[in-house]
Amino acid sequence: MGKFRDLIVYKKGFSLLMEIFTITSGFPKNEQYSLVDQIRRCSRSVCANLAEAYRKRKYPNHFVSKLSDSDTENGETQTWLEFALACKYITTDEFNILNNQAEEVAKLLVYMMKNPEKFITKLS
């Protein structure tokens, strides 16, 4: 059934986290251990939880639970993006691009949660 890295949602989530990493490199130093740390951590957790979910796909309830964790982290990422916009660390255009990417990730995660049978493997 492939690897978690082959999933479109993983690729989109990874692309988003790398863009966030790059853009936050230009944030003020006084935000290093607050906003920068938070937004990087939750954007990374989207992919980390997705990888964990994929490893648990033999167990539908665990699989969906980890996907839900990934979706939650994605929502947190969007919240931190709003803070970055409000603090004028990113432009409206940058916010819209990043937020739209996060929305794509959310839609794919919701699809997976609603259709776990398409991803579940059978116990041997």
Query: What is the separation of C-alpha 29 from the centre of its chain, rounded to a whole number of angstroms?
Result: 24
Q: The domain that contains 23 carries what CATH number? A: 1.20.1440.60
What pLDDT score does 123 carry?
62
Collapsing DSSP states into helix, strand and coil, what is residue 115?
coil
pTM confidence score? 0.93
Whether 20 maps to a domain, the answer reads yes
- Read off the pLDDT of each residue in 65-85 and give the average, rounded to a whole number: 98
| The dihedral sign for the CA sequence 83, 105, 92, 18 | positive
Checking if the pLDDT of 9 tops 80, the result is: yes
Residue with tokens 């796909």: 57
Instruction: Count CB atoms within 10 A of the CB of residue 63.
Output: 22
- What mean pLDDT value characterizes the chain? 95
Whether 39 maps to a domain, the answer reads yes
Given pLDDT bands bounded at 50, 70 and 90, which one contains residue 122? confident
Domain that holds residue 68: 4-114
What pLDDT score does 124 carry?
57
